[in-house]
Every structure is written in C-alpha cells, then in structure tokens.
Copies of this chain bind each other. A is one copy, B any other.
Amino acid sequence: MNPASPAIDTDGVTALLERGRTLATPVLRAAVGRLAPPMDTVAAYHFGWIDAEGHPTTGDSGKAVRPALALLSAEAAGAAPEVGIPGAVAVELVHNFSLLHDDLMDGDEQRRHRDTVWKVHGPAQAILVGDALFALANEILLELGTVDAGRATRRLTQASRKLIDGQAQDISYEHRERVTVEECLEMEGNKTGALLACAVSIGAVLGGADDRTADTLEKYGYHLGLAFQAVDDLLGIWGDPDATGKQTWSDLRQRKKSLPVVAALAAGGEASERLARILAADAKKSESEIADFTEEEFASRAALIEEAGGREWTSQEARRQHTTAIAALDEIEMPQQVRAELVALADFVVVRKR
C-alpha cells in the first residue's frame, strides 16, 4: 500500500458512517424536538430536515464523521457502540452550535448547498438556536447522571472552549497581514482538532475508559482533525462547488489565511513574493470589491498559491497528520476490528472530495 494515497475500504467506511447516522439521528432529532418553538423549526432547517417553508426534506445533513467516531470510541473501550450514542449526539450538537454562530460571524451565506440560518431566519435566531444546541449538548450527557457522564461533559466543555478559541483566532487572523504556518495549525487544531478528538474519546469515557485511554484516543482524533482540516483547506480553494456545496474559491473570497495560503507565503521564492504583494493589495480592498472579482482573478491567485508550493505542502501535511493519528492507536489496547475501522476512517478523511 502506498502511504501517500491509502487504498481505502470505501464500503466499510460507508457502512460506519451510515451506522453513526442511523443510531445517532433519531436521538439527535428527539433532542432538538425539546427546543421551544420557533427554535425547534429553525434547528430542523439547519440540520437539513425541513426546507425554509417547513416541508420535510431528505437533504444533505453533513458527512457525519463525528457520530461514527463516537460509536467506534465506545467499542474501543470494549463497550457496545450504543453506549456512545449520547456522546455522538452531544458532539453533533456542539458542532452545529459552532456552525450556526460561525456562519453568522463570518457572514457565510451558504452551507450544505442551502442558505444559512441567519440568511433565512435572521441573526437573532442563529444566535439563540446556537446557544440552545450548546446547552442541549451538556443536558443530554448530564442527564445520564453517572460519574462518567460528568467526565465526558468536562471533556466536551474543554473541546468547546478550544472551538471558540479557534474561531477567535480565525477572525483575528483575517485582519492580519501575516500569519505563520504554526499559528494557522494552532488555530485549526482548536477549530477542528479539539472536537474531533472529543468525538473519539467521548464514547470510550461513557464506556468507563480511564483517562490515559481517553487521552490517547484524543491524540488520534486531534491529528485526524488536522488532516481533515488540511483537506478542507484544499477543497476551500480547489474543491468542486457541486461536491462541497460552497462557492468556487470560497476561502479566497473570504481572504481566509488557510494552510495553502500561509504555506505559500512562508515558502519564499518568486511566486511566493508575487502572491504576498497581491494579497497585501487585496487586504486594502473592501469586501464588495473582493466580491466583484472575476473568476479569472481568483483563479490567478489560486495558481500562484500552487506555484509557490502551498497546495503540495498542504497535501503532504494532511498525510503527515494522518500518519501521526494512526500511530497513536498503537499506544493502547483495543479490539483489532475497531482499530482497523479507525484506520479506514482516517484514510477516508484524507481522500474525500467533499
């Protein structure tokens, strides 16, 4: 097997993602159903269960990597996958709380091929429903009433704080001319790594795993999250809009200092310097001027990022994080089947197109 492009077990991964969705979604829907109107409806729209007019849909509700991981997490501790369900639901609730608030803060108008909640239902509902989902996440776990549920909630709370730290960094970086590769990785570790790490430990903690086991599973999850985000950053520039559900050159439109950009700027050389000059000029432009760029203007920036090596570096970084993630699994005992499935999920994360 070539480590650069793992031969993934597509059917196996599809089955794992499907199991996560099948077991977690009914519990997630019941949890969201606890919200008082109109928050229940707004949340159902956000999750893709109804359209803007309130009619049921069979829309795209995301890849569901986190629920799949939470169930595997329980199995890694020798428990039944069902033990991980409240953890899967809580992590999904926190993830979606952050999407609701981030889309509003970032002014993002589209997610999963649909208008974002603040566009359809207004900023106040995006704030409120985000808050409600965050509270609900802790409620779902704590009502289990066990010591392990308290431990799981504590880990979820710490991950949530990192998520918020990451968004704060993301916002502040957008106003800065230069961001280092290290700063970018730290931000992405907070924004994506921490909650994926929690997804991979939460089922095990609910299943009674000790802190060392949970910490090691989090190490796998954290690096998996960094691999996931590196791929997301590639898709944010070179992704197919039909697959990602985002606009073309989505991250360039927002002047995001994502990994390919900061790596290209850090690389030095002629293309890197040319890119730096262009982005410095772009930084002085207004948002509407950037929005009025032609496809060609974005394409030329993307080409410069690639020429400076930002695309290749980010691809390699995804593979490095993938390798580190998988290596962590060797530090603890777990059923062979579970280990193989965690590896397959990691492989999926680095080759996905959406």
Contact = CB atoms under 8 A, between A and B. Distances in A.
A189 to B, nearest CB: 13
Contacts of A135: 134, 157, 160-161, 164
Interface in A256-299: none
Interface in A102-153: 104-105, 123-124, 127-128, 130-132, 134-136, 138-139, 142-143, 145, 147, 149-150, 153
A127 B127 contact: yes
B123 A105 contact: yes
Nearest to A106: B124
A38 interface: yes
A161 B39 CA distance: 11
A168 interface: yes
A127 B142 contact: no
A278 to B, nearest CB: 26
Interface residues of A, number: 38
Contact of A161 (B130, B139, B169, B172): B139
Given A131-B134, A164-B135, A124 B171 contact: yes
A158 interface: yes
A165 interface: yes
What is the count of identical protomers in the complex?
A: 2
A167 interface: yes
B139 A127 contact: no
Given A36-B165, A127-B105, A128-B164, A158 B139 contact: yes
Q: Determine which residue in A38, A97, A124, A167 has the highest number of CB atoms from chain B within 10 A of its CB, and name it.
A: A124
Contacts of A139: 154, 157-158, 161
A246 interface: no
Contacts of A164: 39, 128, 131-132, 135
A39 B143 CA distance: 31
A161 to B, nearest CB: 5
